[in-house]
A and B are shown apart, each in its own frame.
Chain A
């Protein structure tokens, strides 16, 4: 077996153990370890991605050398490696962009705990991405939840603890449903490995046996993961959790954690149930409808919001709605669009969170719009970055948001029954997005000469500005040269089958 095939396993283990090591290190060293680990894992994922692109087929890695029905497995294809690479990039940028705020947000003695949580989160995300075993997926879903909860509550104010509790409750409901669905699935098929379950499900469908329990099990798993990724009616916990936690946490939570669950759902759809079987159930219609509702109601809530970070958080609800709408279309094109939107949204939303903190910093730390007047003049880099993020969210060409909307629309055009609904809601949601994002952009560029806050120059925030530039570049790259990425997603999905 090629040495590169060990990389997925190494990267999971590396982040897991570095997390443990961080607990005994001083804060500074923990920070270095954290950064280095993310970079190393990113590099490994990049090498793996190149390797997979060159071989053109996925591989399965036996954990502990037990063959299929008994052993635990890791599976790596183009999509998994690409996702891992992307997660590492976003996570590194988010950590770097929020680093200067950390001393003000978290007590000094808890800094290394923060890095433990980040490392654990990364490892659980990687495990969710790579694993081929349902029960392992469940365990790492829980680890993900716990570390995400830690990331929310490490900033010890009342609001975050309450948000963490609410987050935990919703997450536990979700993982309970997931576990129950998974147990029923295990009961029906007798397997825990994704590929084996898929074979048995195919047999069950062919023989017409246990149709109802099968649907119930799939539905339970779907709803569980929907709750965890904050699909529309289950989003109540989200604004507080994203709005009051530390900057890096908010960026990571909004762009990565929910995406990890969504990626797991994609894997379940493709690798456990089978894409065609999944599409023949009514579940996709439910996902579709909730996706559409999320797109509209998320934006409406965002419009009403008077706090910039909560506004961005609500916009996440809308964006998650987009992704589920893509699932609901039930076509390959819809799926590609959704996966592209995962990338595009992750890049944009973390940019927005990081840029917003730059703006609030030069406005006396207030999140209220009234105080943000003219903030873009006081912190030019953050202002420009926020504008780019907003334009991308609105779907202006040249930025990533436009491409994902284009892909969604192209996918929608191919589905007769859902075409009009999705195009109309896409349109409404675009306009609503424009309402609140452009309102904010105008607000931060409005001239406020008598604002009592001081501006900040490039010299005082070099690292921060570099991060913002990286984020902007990422957005533009996704927006301008999307074709290779879309091709890669298509290739990855083909490997899933």
Chain B
């Protein structure tokens, strides 16, 4: 109990402490001591990571207090939560260390680190939440605490993006809350279940049709966070304006909250209840549309960070597609892709950040010859890109394999074949929008002025996190078994 609690409370308190202690000075006050700030933030990140890893092995759930009668704030560690918090505990500190170097050229560092830690704590709470109302609480708090990361640089564009993010998320969360009210009436309790659903049998027979609507609204609502069409527009606006390490966290971790939410909702309703209904069909349609559209938009986007954000839209719907198919194989694929995409996208965004930091280049066509200047960064970028496309032996391959397999075995008419086809097309598009960067980066062509090249490799503090993330993305492709075991446990509800 104390482990779970401290993995949540420690980063939140540390974040608040940083916000108060190192707040941006007013005119006339002495500037923030940058060294101690980074030291504090670094220590807090490491301590939190240790807490979280220890908490992963916690067995028993506990109720913190009652928000209202029969609305307990309840925490529990289960397998699904473990996977998501594993992702967070690796990506967030990595990107955090990256930002110690990166944030040198931005202002208001204390605010950044403060909210960064808050996000970490809230996301842990989200992973460990044991019932819908706790989940909802931290879902809202996640939006609130991650918004300052989006509008960090304070430009008008960033503030508008932050507000857009806020409104989309709030709309989504409200739609979800709408569903929670009905679930509350029709379920015995709001505690999460994984496969069998918590609906009362009488509720299904009496107003099953209405409950389907509720399920759909909830999926749409939580889908907002995961950037699902038609509520995806905030994502390509909000992610790129944040500082690069923050975009990495936003794209790799925070959007996964939407996925986690979807898994929880599916668990509450039970896959048996939703299988074969119009909800499943509609949901499959939406995810496939998003997969295709996201890739296409990414393909046409000239700004690297925006391109990566569109790619996030597309890749997240891979995961949602796997969930929508609703069988064990595709579920495994989805969860694997959660991890794979998390590592890969974080690595890619950090690479983009390193490029911006060293060269100030943001557009793809400016990046010719970049591989000669920053070889380590671009090698990582290339390997991660291959992973995202799904070329063996990277993590992306395994997850997409399971997704396609699950879809083919599902026996849903039309979609069982259409799904893999669209996944393949989208993979081709992914290759189309990521690989040119590596190709032109390493082989700028005969007409390129090689004389202007300089060594621009960033320092170890930046390359190490990128390398670690890239390495992990390959590792889960080579040794997926351990994770598959955990996922199997998750799929069967333990």
Would A and B touch once assembled, by the CB under 8 A criterion? yes
Task: Give chain A residues whose Cβ lies under 8 Å from the Cβ of B108.
Answer: 447
Would you call B182 an interface residue if the criterion is a C-beta within 8 Å of the partner chain's C-beta atoms?
A: yes
**CB nearest to B139 among chain A residues:** A397
- Given contact pairs A410-B181, A438-B166, A427 touches B140 in the complex (Cβ within 8 A): no
Shortest Cβ gap from A298 to chain B (Å): 18
9 A-B pairs (CB sep. < 8 Å): A406-B71, A427-B174, A427-B178, A430-B174, A431-B170, A434-B166, A435-B163, A442-B162, A486-B69
Kindly identify which residue among A378, A455, A483 contacts B66, using a CB–CB cutoff of 8 Å: A483
Q: A430-B170, A447-B24 are in contact. List 5 more A-B contacts (CB 8 A).
A: A396-B144, A413-B182, A423-B178, A435-B163, A446-B159
Shortest Cβ gap from B199 to chain A (Å): 15
Task: Give chain A residues whose Cβ lies under 8 Å from the Cβ of B136.
Answer: 397
Would you call B293 an interface residue if the criterion is a C-beta within 8 Å of the partner chain's C-beta atoms?
A: no
- Given contact pairs A406-B68, A431-B167, A396 touches B141 in the complex (Cβ within 8 A): yes
Task: Give chain A residues whose Cβ lies under 8 Å from the Cβ of B163.
Answer: 435, 438-439, 442
Q: Decide: B67 and A480 in contact? CB cutoff 8 A.
A: yes
* 8 A-B pairs closest in CB distance: A397-B137, A427-B174, A483-B69, A409-B181, A483-B68, A434-B170, A413-B181, A482-B68
Q: Decide: A410 and B184 in contact? CB cutoff 8 A.
A: yes
Cα distance A449–B27 in the bound complex, in angstroms: 6
Shortest Cβ gap from B69 to chain A (Å): 5
Shortest Cβ gap from A380 to chain B (Å): 8
Shortest Cβ gap from A284 to chain B (Å): 21
Would you call B459 an interface residue if the criterion is a C-beta within 8 Å of the partner chain's C-beta atoms?
A: no
B131-148 contacts to A, CB under 8 A, are: 133, 136-137, 140-141, 144, 147
Interface of A is mostly: helix
Shortest Cβ gap from B254 to chain A (Å): 17
Shortest Cβ gap from B347 to chain A (Å): 31
Task: Give chain A residues whose Cβ lies under 8 Å from the Cβ of B177.
Answer: 409
A480-497 contacts to B, CB under 8 A, are: 480-483, 486-487
Would you call B372 an interface residue if the criterion is a C-beta within 8 Å of the partner chain's C-beta atoms?
A: no
Task: Give chain B residues whose Cβ lies under 8 Å from the Cβ of A431.
Answer: 167, 170-171, 174
Task: Give chain B residues whose Cβ lies under 8 Å from the Cβ of A434.
Answer: 166-167, 170
Cα distance A191–B147 in the bound complex, in angstroms: 60
Cα distance A396–B177 in the bound complex, in angstroms: 11
Q: Decide: A486 and B68 in contact? CB cutoff 8 A.
A: yes
Task: Give chain B residues whose Cβ lies under 8 Å from the Cβ of A442.
Answer: 151, 159, 162-163
Cα distance A409–B177 in the bound complex, in angstroms: 9
Would you call A377 an interface residue if the criterion is a C-beta within 8 Å of the partner chain's C-beta atoms?
A: yes
Q: Decide: B67 and A482 in contact? CB cutoff 8 A.
A: yes
- Given contact pairs A431-B171, A435-B167, A397 touches B67 in the complex (Cβ within 8 A): yes
Would you call B61 an interface residue if the criterion is a C-beta within 8 Å of the partner chain's C-beta atoms?
A: no
Would you call A391 an interface residue if the criterion is a C-beta within 8 Å of the partner chain's C-beta atoms?
A: yes
Would you call B23 an interface residue if the criterion is a C-beta within 8 Å of the partner chain's C-beta atoms?
A: yes
Shortest Cβ gap from A414 to chain B (Å): 8
Q: Decide: A397 and B181 in contact? CB cutoff 8 A.
A: no
Cα distance A412–B166 in the bound complex, in angstroms: 26
Would you call B65 an interface residue if the criterion is a C-beta within 8 Å of the partner chain's C-beta atoms?
A: yes
**CB nearest to B108 among chain A residues:** A447
**CB nearest to A451 among chain B residues:** B27
Would you call A165 an interface residue if the criterion is a C-beta within 8 Å of the partner chain's C-beta atoms?
A: no
Q: Decide: A397 and B162 in contact? CB cutoff 8 A.
A: no
Shortest Cβ gap from B298 to chain A (Å): 29
**CB nearest to A410 among chain B residues:** B181
Kindly identify which residue among B24, B107, B185 contacts A413, using a CB–CB cutoff of 8 Å: B185
Task: Give chain B residues whose Cβ lies under 8 Å from the Cβ of A446.
Answer: 154, 159
Task: Give chain A residues whose Cβ lies under 8 Å from the Cβ of B151.
Answer: 442
B174-207 contacts to A, CB under 8 A, are: 174-175, 177-178, 181-182, 184-185
Q: Residue among A394, A406, A410, A446 with the most chain B CB within 10 A?
A: A406
Give the interface size class of chain A: 35 or more
Would you call B414 an interface residue if the criterion is a C-beta within 8 Å of the partner chain's C-beta atoms?
A: no
Would you call A450 an interface residue if the criterion is a C-beta within 8 Å of the partner chain's C-beta atoms?
A: yes
Would you call A197 an interface residue if the criterion is a C-beta within 8 Å of the partner chain's C-beta atoms?
A: no
Would you call B26 an interface residue if the criterion is a C-beta within 8 Å of the partner chain's C-beta atoms?
A: yes
**CB nearest to A445 among chain B residues:** B148
Cα distance A455–B182 in the bound complex, in angstroms: 48
Kindly identify which residue among B27, B68, B141, B178 contacts A403, using a CB–CB cutoff of 8 Å: B68
Cα distance A412–B181 in the bound complex, in angstroms: 9
Q: Decide: B175 and A455 in contact? CB cutoff 8 A.
A: no
How would residues 161 to 173 of chain B score, 1 for a CB under 8 Å from any chain A CB and 0 otherwise? Answer: 0110011001100
Would you call A16 an interface residue if the criterion is a C-beta within 8 Å of the partner chain's C-beta atoms?
A: no
Would you call A398 an interface residue if the criterion is a C-beta within 8 Å of the partner chain's C-beta atoms?
A: yes
Kindly identify which residue among B27, B141, B154, B175 contacts A450, using a CB–CB cutoff of 8 Å: B27
Task: Give chain B residues whose Cβ lies under 8 Å from the Cβ of A377.
Answer: 23-24, 26
Shortest Cβ gap from B356 to chain A (Å): 22
**CB nearest to A452 among chain B residues:** B27
**CB nearest to B20 among chain A residues:** A380
Shortest Cβ gap from B146 to chain A (Å): 13
Q: Residue among B68, B177, B185 with the most chain A CB within 10 A?
A: B68
Cα distance A446–B185 in the bound complex, in angstroms: 42
A243-291 contacts to B, CB under 8 A, are: none
Cα distance A439–B164 in the bound complex, in angstroms: 11
Cα distance A239–B27 in the bound complex, in angstroms: 35
Kindly identify which residue among A380, A397, A410, A447 contacts B140, using a CB–CB cutoff of 8 Å: A397
Cα distance A442–B137 in the bound complex, in angstroms: 21
**CB nearest to A427 among chain B residues:** B174
Shortest Cβ gap from A66 to chain B (Å): 43
Task: Give chain A residues whose Cβ lies under 8 Å from the Cβ of B159.
Answer: 442, 446
Cα distance A363–B170 in the bound complex, in angstroms: 30
**CB nearest to A430 among chain B residues:** B174
Shortest Cβ gap from A104 to chain B (Å): 24
Task: Give chain B residues whose Cβ lies under 8 Å from the Cβ of A430.
Answer: 170, 174
Cα distance A229–B392 in the bound complex, in angstroms: 69
Q: Decide: A447 and B154 in contact? CB cutoff 8 A.
A: yes
Cα distance A112–B103 in the bound complex, in angstroms: 56
Q: Decide: B178 and A409 in contact? CB cutoff 8 A.
A: yes
Shortest Cβ gap from A114 to chain B (Å): 35
Cα distance A449–B181 in the bound complex, in angstroms: 45
Cα distance A124–B186 in the bound complex, in angstroms: 45
Q: Decide: A396 and B140 in contact? CB cutoff 8 A.
A: yes
Task: Give chain B residues whose Cβ lies under 8 Å from the Cβ of A409.
Answer: 177-178, 181
**CB nearest to A391 among chain B residues:** B144
Cα distance A410–B65 in the bound complex, in angstroms: 20
How would residues 387 to 416 of chain A score, 1 for a CB under 8 Å from any chain B CB and 0 otherwise? Answer: 000010010111000010010011011000
**CB nearest to A487 among chain B residues:** B69
Task: Give chain B residues whose Cβ lies under 8 Å from the Cβ of A380.
Answer: 23
**CB nearest to B140 among chain A residues:** A396
Q: Residue among A397, A412, A413 with the most chain B CB within 10 A?
A: A397
**CB nearest to B159 among chain A residues:** A442
Task: Give chain B residues whose Cβ lies under 8 Å from the Cβ of A426.
Answer: 174
**CB nearest to A435 among chain B residues:** B167
Cα distance A450–B181 in the bound complex, in angstroms: 48
How would residues 68 to 109 of chain B score, 1 for a CB under 8 Å from any chain A CB and 0 otherwise? Answer: 110100000000000000000000000000000000000110
**CB nearest to B134 among chain A residues:** A397
Cα distance A442–B166 in the bound complex, in angstroms: 11
Task: Give chain B residues whose Cβ lies under 8 Å from the Cβ of A378.
Answer: 26
Cα distance A234–B402 in the bound complex, in angstroms: 62
Task: Give chain A residues whose Cβ lies under 8 Å from the Cβ of B26.
Answer: 377-378, 449, 455
Cα distance A380–B184 in the bound complex, in angstroms: 39
Task: Give chain B residues whose Cβ lies under 8 Å from the Cβ of A486.
Answer: 68-69
Cα distance A82–B170 in the bound complex, in angstroms: 34
Task: Give chain A residues whose Cβ lies under 8 Å from the Cβ of B141.
Answer: 396-397
